[in-house]
Amino acid sequence: MRISSMRYLVHQGFKGIWKNRMMSFASFCIMLVSLLMVGISVLLAININRIIGGIEDKSELVVQIKDGCSQEQIDELKNNLSSLPNVNTIEFYSKEQAWESMVKDMTKEEQELFQYADDNFLPDTFRVTVHDIKEMTLTTTQISTFSNVESTRSPSEFTDVLISIRRILGIISGAIVIALIVVCLIIISNTTRASVFARRKEINIMKYVGAKNSFIRIPFFIEGMIVGLLAAAAALGLTKFAYDGVYNIFNNDFKLWSVLGINNLYSFDDLFIHVTIAYAVAGALIGALGTSFSTGKHLKV
């Protein structure tokens, strides 16, 4: 195809938007709402996942070291712990630190009573966090087989609940996102079909003068892509505005929620590139393919 012909087709695509501005506007609005619904749902799902992940990260298992172990034995145990693939961080918590912490948490009366205690009965411990919380039980069992380990404690019930919540939320958010995508595709396809139907005579004439299907489709493809990209840009702006608003509320006004990992919310800047690419690709593809597929029916002349 000649460059002049390609330029003409691209130009026709742009002109088509203005000439059919009402239908273009309808497609724009439908795509904007669709992208917003899907985009916000995905962002919500990502953040819920991260919040639960944040809570999971705070779950640690405690390894009590046998009383009377030498420094070499403690170091050896630490090496053994680090050799486990699921172990993330290892923090040594001496019996002195544990005693201090315990006394600090006591009432005055209790503290007075405890000052007469002549022996620190608390053990040295390792506090271990894991990479995969689902493997925590297995890791705990492995650790308990190491020498110089008195006992292990892990919040297995709590982590089981978290895993279940995460799985259920994953299924629910996945189902919602898929349902939204399907609904949006149906709505967009109907809107673009109506837009193309309004111009079926034009397509019919093109066929009679010997236009190839690709020649007819290209301007519709470009038109759909531009409308899709405009909808994506508007959706990006609106998403940023809404997201920043919600993010600031959680970050500034609910700092206490950080205990639950709420401070783990992604900032929009973290997600900007991903959201931009997702919106642009989805908008352009849905717009372009939706419109050019809708022309197919009218090309059979």
Partner 1 sequence: MVEFKDVSVTYSSGVDALNKVNLKINDGDFAFVVGPSGAGKSTLIKLVLKEIDATNGEVIVNGFNLRKLRRGKIPALRRTIGVVFQDFRLIPTMTVYENVAFVLRVIDAPAKYIRSRVPYVINLVGLSDKTKSYPTELSGGEQQRVALARALVNDPKLIIADEPTGNIDPALSYEIVGLLKGINECGTTVLMVTHEHELVRYFGGRIININKGSIAFDEVIGGTHENK
Q: Which is nearer to partner 1, 6 or 171 (CB)?
A: 6
Query: Minimum distance between the CB of residue 291 and partner 1, rounded to whole angstroms?
Result: 17
Asked whether 95 and 120 are in contact (CB, 8 A), the reply is yes
Q: In the block, which residue shows the tokens 């909808």?
A: 231
Q: Which is nearer to partner 1, 120 or 204 (CB)?
A: 204
The two structure tokens encoding residue 250? 């959680």
Three-class SS state of 93: strand
By CB under 8 A, what part of segment 171-210 binds partner 1? 201-202, 204-210
Q: Among 38, 50, 40, 45, which residue's Cα sits nearest to residue 169? A: 45
Query: Minimum distance between the CB of residue 22 and partner 1, rounded to whole angstroms?
Result: 13
Q: In the block, which residue shows the tokens 């992604």?
A: 266
Asked whether 253 and 265 are in contact (CB, 8 A), the reply is no
Query: Minimum distance between the CB of residue 163 and partner 1, rounded to whole angstroms?
Result: 56
Q: Which is nearer to partner 1, 104 or 201 (CB)?
A: 201
By CB under 8 A, what part of segment 4-33 binds partner 1? 4-5, 8, 19
Q: Does 245 bind partner 1 (CB under 8 A)?
A: no
Q: In the block, which residue shows the tokens 């149906």?
A: 186
Query: Minimum distance between the CB of residue 86 and partner 1, rounded to whole angstroms?
Result: 59
Tell me how far apart the alpha carbons of residues 132 and 173 are, in angstroms, rounded to a whole number: 21
The two structure tokens encoding residue 192? 């673009």
Tell me how far apart the alpha carbons of residues 193 and 183 are, in angstroms, rounded to a whole number: 15
Interaction pattern, residues 262-291, with partner 1; x per rule: CB under 8 A: ------------------------------
Q: Which is nearer to partner 1, 171 or 198 (CB)?
A: 198
Query: Minimum distance between the CB of residue 272 and partner 1, rounded to whole angstroms?
Result: 39
Query: Minimum distance between the CB of residue 292 and partner 1, rounded to whole angstroms?
Result: 17
Query: Minimum distance between the CB of residue 287 and partner 1, rounded to whole angstroms?
Result: 20
Radius of gyration in angstroms for the set of CA atoms belonging to the chain, rounded to a whole number: 31
Q: Which is nearer to partner 1, 19 or 167 (CB)?
A: 19
Q: How far apart are the first and last CA of the chain?
A: 23
Q: Which is nearer to partner 1, 77 or 227 (CB)?
A: 227
Interaction pattern, residues 208-227, with partner 1; x per rule: CB under 8 A: xxxxx--x------------
Q: Which is nearer to partner 1, 104 or 300 (CB)?
A: 300
The two structure tokens encoding residue 242? 């809404």
| Alpha helices, H only, the chain | 3-19, 21-58, 71-82, 95-104, 108-114, 136-144, 156-197, 200-208, 213-248, 268-295
Tell me how far apart the alpha carbons of residues 20 and 228 are, in angstroms, rounded to a whole number: 15
Using CB under 8 A, list all residues that contact partner 1.
1-2, 4-5, 8, 19, 201-202, 204-212, 215, 301
